Amino acid sequence: MVLLLVLQLALSLLGCCMCAPPKAPEVDTLHLENYDLVEDEDVDWENLHLNSYEEAYDYEEPDRAVRNRQGWRESKLRATAAQLFRPFRPVEGMPTCLLCVCVSTSVYCDDSNLDQIPPLPRETAYFYARFNRIERVKTADFANINSLQRVDLTGNQISEVEANAFRDLPGLRELMLPDNRLRALPELPASLQLIDVRNNLLTSAGIRPGAFQDMTRLGFLYLSHNQLDFVPTPLPEGLHVLHLQYNNIQSLQEDTFCNRNDLTYLRRALEDIRLDGNPVNLSRYPQAYFCLPRLPVGRLQ
């Protein structure tokens, strides 16, 4: 019986020893060289006293910490917004399809603050660079882009187009250069179906004689709001629309639209002629319209 009591006491003492928390290590006996320490110039790890570490650390008050975090987030948002909504300025050498938007064979560079035409992919068929700051069109801008069908440079500051800039583009069908500063037209390919050079500074001397004669596919010719003194003749047979309003045209010739040597000749295609806003009095030139399906629009008195 005594032996059983002694055994139970021994087991109780053993259990208490096993359940006791481990002894806390002595701070003075820790060796920092056994640990990977973070490099920090502001901490002297060799002379660091762990017993006083809590006193040396500057803990922020909870409210102040929250305010600081909120202020940091707000400043970060402001900086991000400034980056997103800052005025775009193209970087020289930037790939065109990062500077502009390329979709299949179309390149859109509208309102991109361009001052020159960027290098275009060889497969470009439709190019739009409206409302930029382009002042000059060079021959090299479209060199070897034989698939180009439409060029739209509306609303730039173009005052010069090199003579061969468009001439060697065999598939070009539509050329749009309204709202620029052109005084003369360059040589153009015979493949054109639409030419729009409204609201420029074109003079009659800036359009070479017979400039449109060989353009058998030309259907739409917009020359309004320029400084032309006469209708640029001869006009191609397939022309449907001719807009010349608000120029300085003062007279017409009998063969401007018709053939004075052939009274049976009819020009059925040319149905829309605008001459309003010019000083010419259309009633003085009745022989100039007998071949047309419709009379031109303009001053008749």
Please tell me the predicted confidence (pLDDT) of residue 263.
Answer: 82
Determine the Cα angle at 248 with ends 242 and 254, to 5°. Answer: 60
> What value does the mean pLDDT take over residues 101-127?
96
pLDDT(298) > 80: yes
- The encoded tokens of residue 147 equal 């698939």
Of residues 273 and 96, the one with the higher pLDDT is 273
Candidates 150, 96, 144; CA nearest to 120 is: 96
Please tell me the predicted confidence (pLDDT) of residue 85.
Answer: 37
Please tell me the predicted confidence (pLDDT) of residue 69.
Answer: 57
pLDDT(67) > 80: no
- The encoded tokens of residue 171 equal 């598939």
- The encoded tokens of residue 248 equal 């300085």
* Cis peptide leading into residue 234 (ω within 30°): yes
From 75-79, 150-154, 207-211, the region with the lowest mean pLDDT: 75-79
Of residues 11 and 129, the one with the higher pLDDT is 129
Give CA–CA dist 286/227, Å, rounded.
24
DSSP string, 195-215: EE--SS--BGGGS-TTTTTT-
Give CA–CA dist 207/12, Å, rounded.
116
> What value does the mean pLDDT take over residues 190-217?
96
Give CA–CA dist 143/298, Å, rounded.
41
pLDDT(38) > 50: no
pLDDT(246) > 90: yes
Highest mean pLDDT among 4-13, 75-84, 106-115: 106-115
Name the 3-class secondary structure at 185.
coil
Predicted confidence (pLDDT) per residue in 261-285, tens digit: 888 889 999 999 999 999 999 999 9
Give CA–CA dist 275/289, Å, rounded.
13
> What value does the mean pLDDT take over residues 66-77?
55
Residue 7 confidence class, pLDDT cut points 50, 70, 90: low
- The encoded tokens of residue 277 equal 């806003």
pLDDT(54) > 50: no
Mean pLDDT of the chain: 81
Give CA–CA dist 262/226, Å, rounded.
32
Of residues 35 and 15, the one with the higher pLDDT is 15
From 79-88, 109-118, 241-250, 266-275, the region with the lowest mean pLDDT: 79-88
Predicted confidence (pLDDT) per residue in 156-201, tens digit: 999 999 999 999 999 999 999 999 999 999 999 999 999 999 999 9
Helices of type H across the chain = 2-19, 53-56, 62-85, 96-99
